[in-house]
Chains A and B, each alone.
Chain A
Amino acid sequence: MKLGRGPVLETLRRLWPLVALVAIVAAIAIVASFAPAVPQRRTTQALINLVAVVGLYVFVGNSGILSFGNVAFMAIGAYVSALLTMKSAAKSVFLPDLPQIIASAEWPALPGALAGGAVAAAVALVVGWPLMRLSGVSASIATFAVLVVGNVVFGNWTSVTGGQNSLMGLPAYVDLWTALGWAIAALVIAFAYQETRSALLLRASREDEAAAQASGVNVVLHRLRAFVVSAFLSGIAGVLLGHFLGIVRVENFYLDLTFLIVAMLLIGGRGSLTGAVAGTIVIALLTEGLREAEIGFQVGTTNIAAPAGTGDVILALLMLIIILFRPDGIAGGRELTWPFGRR
């Protein structure tokens, strides 16, 4: 029998982008597990970023609308999970005014994480219902408003979030394997979503909104679905970040993180899941290299180092170059294809 025939291989061929991406991500994590503690932590951080980028991709890639608001959903996830899983003794010190139910909650990690994602998704459903009626750049600006409102609320709702003070003492349970598990779960969810009929219709509206509407596609509904799935994954990414650092600080969930996540997706290519993964890996490697350059290296007795902040400038410049010369990013809107012969 020729390779590529038969129902099993047909299924494998269809699932190939997912299988290949999961294999790549898992391989990176396994290699990192043999490395010393510091590179291991950096890899964990990169895997968390991957969850965030994949979350952003679910909406941006399928709808064609750039969202700046997903970091607000990350913040929601981080705060919800923090409040549910922290020791109630710690909460009574930092947040004496919490409602009794939350103050006494000491949930295990997984339900806390799922609750973080679920609340983010629920907020997205409420917020998205009016916003998804907007199209194109108006919708992008509206998602920016979501980011700002989120920041204002979290920064000032002192009785629940601690306001400008940080929430400290989260159980720091996120290690390499937890992050890998969620990264794989995010890839599976994103892939499963983009194979649905709803996602296909949404991509039709991305290509030509008027034509899709004329063919009976309920654009607002499908956009809203993508937005909710995307917010769930972003919420999970926020949960992971909070429990990785052991601290939730409102300014960590604002413009700089938005820029990083958006840059990763756009450089990789916003049109495909492969692009999301590629962007995360490339930027993680680049950031690592630049971090070394900022620390500097020894030449004889003098230390030559790039000034601090060079990394950010180069990242912004790279994004500009990509958008000017290869607007569809590294992956160019394509998924990895079955490498063993044509159909």
Chain B
Amino acid sequence: MERLVQIVVDAVSVGSLYALTALGIGLIFGVMRLINFAHGELITLAAYTLLALSGMPVPVMIFGAVAVAVLLALLTERAAFRPLRNADPTTLLISSFAVSFFLQKLLILVVGSRLKGLDFLPALGRQTELFGVRLQLLQIVTIVVGIVLLVALTWFLKATRLGLHMRAAAEDFRMARVLGVRANNVIAVAFALSGLLAAAVSCLIVVQTGVVQPRMGLQLVIIAFVGTVIGGLGSLPGAALGGFLVGAGSILLQALLPPDLRAFREAFVFVAVVAILLFRPQGLIPARGLRERI
């Protein structure tokens, strides 16, 4: 029983992490049909900011990570994605692929490719007892951060004027512009939010692993991508659900598979993904307005 609860908590916490990553990607896809590979580099650079600021008070470190991720998100939008706003999604995909590799290679050039240890918020690694079950504090924090950000984002999208604009833009970008939604504002805010989500994921993952390395973001993002695809590209609840399922699924497989098959768990997850896509090529929660009208 206790082991079961531990597995479930573990799955939910990793699921939340991927849900947050997938949400950051889904937000951008919603407003400009861009699959943002560079989201991974937002996570990576936020982590390196934590490394650079280590020794400072924790709020300063977190603020620095958020600031860097948000600024970098806005910068990449301005430099690489705004000029391509009317291009087809494949061109945008290529552009973000190039941005991602450029940032990653630049980082390797500057700091080297070796992984570096970073002891960020070691208190969260402690075991704690909750309702008679021993759990890691970090897992609970991850779940709470995930829920809080999800609720805040939902509130923002449903209850604020800018959120309304953003949902309108996601539904039909041209129509929204015609009706007076400012495209540049909406897109910039979406990128800033994705930067914020990336920084949150970055802080959590650094506490969990205790290391930073130039590839860390890309590894997360590749799995989150698959989450957004099974959730239904362009749909935010879909992205969150898909990301959650992929993350939680890989942990459940880790726990349930026989030991000599555990190393293959990503392969199993992705095979499951293919099976889902066979039956629902539009994803679990298909986006409205994505299907091209003719």
Contact = CB atoms under 8 A, between A and B. Distances in A.
Interface stretch (A2-10, A24-32, A224-232, A313-321): A313-321
A148 B264 CA distance: 11
In this complex, the interface size class of chain A, counting residues with CB under 8 Å from chain B, is 35 or more
Contact of B274 (A131, A144, A309, A324): A131
A145 B83 CA distance: 29
B109 A307 contact: yes
Query: Does more than half of chain B's interface fall in helix, strand or loop, or is it mixed?
Result: helix
Given A66-B90, A130-B274, A130-B277, A149 B101 contact: no
A153 B269 CA distance: 12
A266 interface: yes
Contacts of A65: 90
Interface in B238-294: 263-264, 266-267, 270-271, 273-275, 277-278, 281, 292, 294
B273 A210 contact: no
Nearest to A163: B263
Given A152-B264, A152-B266, A255-B218, A66 B109 contact: no
Contacts of A66: 90, 93-94
Given A137-B233, A152-B266, A309-B108, A142 B94 contact: no
B98 interface: yes
A148 B270 contact: yes
Interface string A317-333: 10110011001000000
A320 B89 contact: no
Contacts of B33: 137
B192 interface: no
B109 A310 contact: yes
Contacts, number: 116
Interface string A273-301: 00000000000000000000000000000
A320 B277 contact: no
B222 A313 contact: no
B102 A149 contact: no
A134 B264 contact: no
Contacts of A138: 229, 233, 281
A136 B105 contact: no
A65 B90 CA distance: 7
A156 B95 CA distance: 32
Contacts of B281: 133-134, 138
A327 B225 contact: no
Nearest to B34: A137
A138 B281 CA distance: 9
A173 interface: no
A138 B263 CA distance: 26
A309 B97 contact: no
A317 B102 contact: yes
A106 interface: no
A324 B109 contact: no
A230 B82 CA distance: 33
B263 A156 contact: yes
Interface of B: 33, 35, 80, 83-84, 87, 89-91, 93-95, 97-99, 101-102, 105-106, 108-109, 215, 218, 222-223, 225-226, 228-229, 233, 263-264, 266-267, 270-271, 273-275, 277-278, 281, 292, 294
9 contacts: A66-B93, A134-B277, A144-B222, A259-B101, A309-B105, A309-B108, A309-B109, A312-B109, A316-B105
